Amino acid sequence: MEEARSRNPDRPANAGRARGGWTPGRIVSLVAGGVLALGALGLIVGGGLLLGTATSNGGWLDLGHATYETDSYAVVTEPADWGTQTYVLDNVDKVRIRVTPQDATAPVFVGMAPQGDVEGYLSDVRYVTAHGEPGYQVSYTQHDGHEPTAPPAGAVPWTVQSTGTGTQTLEFDAQEQRGDQVLVVMNADGSPAMSGSAESAATQPSLVWIAVGLLAGGIAMGVVAALLIIAPIRRARGRA
């Protein structure tokens, strides 16, 4: 019996335990966990911001705003195909355009139509084309001409239009407005000189699901990061 007990006199008492301290594998696990934690934080913050954007203001997403001022007869935007407009990986659904004239008592006309139809109506009319610039600024291209031969409301087969005093709103399904179309702002009676502001917004239903996906991915990544960080710390401290 005594001989069996002294057979391995030099064997450490904790030889069967896991090796303590910071081994290379534990260091790699800790670093990987830290990197994943940063990625998880980015996904959660991004998903939260996106979710807040998608659910605020009734789901309307700001596309931009600008002011306009001209002594000509019309302000015309650059052509746009609303059916292909995207916002964060997907096409927009509904679009809302609001135009507010500086003079709230003067009737204003706002309409949208195919570019060719508008060019035909304004072929001999003095008007400006508005170009969006950084910082919501606007530059203009002047087109020389005369006064229009008729008020705008019945002059073009507008796809959507609004006339009246104060703020005028156009709201439409983006997929129903395919092809190059332009927005036109004029005084309702076709007279020259106007000023005011315009803003556009859109809805994008899938934005909520994109945000939820980012949040879920961030949480899952955070759990993995926590395991990679906590496990080596516990082993290094508790089994040294």
Confidence of residue 19 (pLDDT cuts 50, 70, 90): low
Q: Does residue 211 belong to any structural domain of this protein? A: yes
For residue 150, is it within any domain?
A: yes
pLDDT above 90 as % of the chain:
51
- Asked, for residue 210, whether it belongs to a domain, the answer is yes
Do residues 26 and 83 both lie within one domain?
A: no
Residues 44 and 152 in one domain: no
122 and 192 belong to one structural domain: yes
Q: Do 65 and 167 belong together in one domain?
A: yes
The verdict on 42 and 73 lying in the same domain is no
Domain that holds residue 153: 61-202
Number of domains in the chain: 2
Residue 9 lies in a domain: no
Better-scored residue on pLDDT, 110 or 211: 110
Does pLDDT of 8 surpass 70?
no
Same domain, 88 and 39: no
Give yes or no: residues 140 and 66 share one domain: yes
Residues 174 and 237 in one domain: no
**0.75 surpassed by pTM:** no
Residues 26 and 144 in one domain: no
Asked if the model's pLDDT at residue 120 lies above 80, the reply is yes
Residue 233 included in any domain = yes
- Predicted confidence (pLDDT) at residue 62 exceeds the cutoff of 90: no
In this predicted structure, what is the pLDDT of residue 238? 67
Tens digit of each residue's pLDDT (9 = 90 or more) over 181-224 = 999 999 999 999 999 999 999 888 777 788 888 899 999 999 99
Task: Give residue-wise pLDDT tens across range 222-238.
Answer: 999 899 888 888 888 86
Mean pLDDT score, 50-61:
79
Is residue 38 a part of any domain in this protein?
A: yes
Which pLDDT band holds residue 29 (cuts at 50, 70, 90)? confident
Q: Is the pLDDT of residue 18 over 80?
A: no
Predicted confidence at residue 162, as pLDDT, reads 97
Q: What is the structure's pLDDT at 30?
A: 86
Question: Between helices 206-238 and 24-55, what is the axis angle to 10°?
Answer: 160
C-alpha distances in Å from residue 222, one per residue of 29, 32, 41, 60, 232: 14, 12, 8, 31, 16
Domain holding 75: CATH number? 2.60.120.380
pLDDT score of 240: 47
Half-sphere exposure of 131 (CA within 13 A, CB side): 5
Q: Are residues 93 and 175 in the same domain?
A: yes
Judge whether 11 lies within some domain: no
* Coil/strand/helix, residue 73: coil
Is residue 2 a part of any domain in this protein?
no
Q: Note whether 91 and 185 are same-domain residues.
A: yes
The residue ranking higher by pLDDT, 158 or 86, is: 158
Residue 15 has pLDDT above 50, yes or no: no
Residues 6+ away with beta carbon under 8 Å from 207 = 50, 53, 54, 61, 87, 88, 90
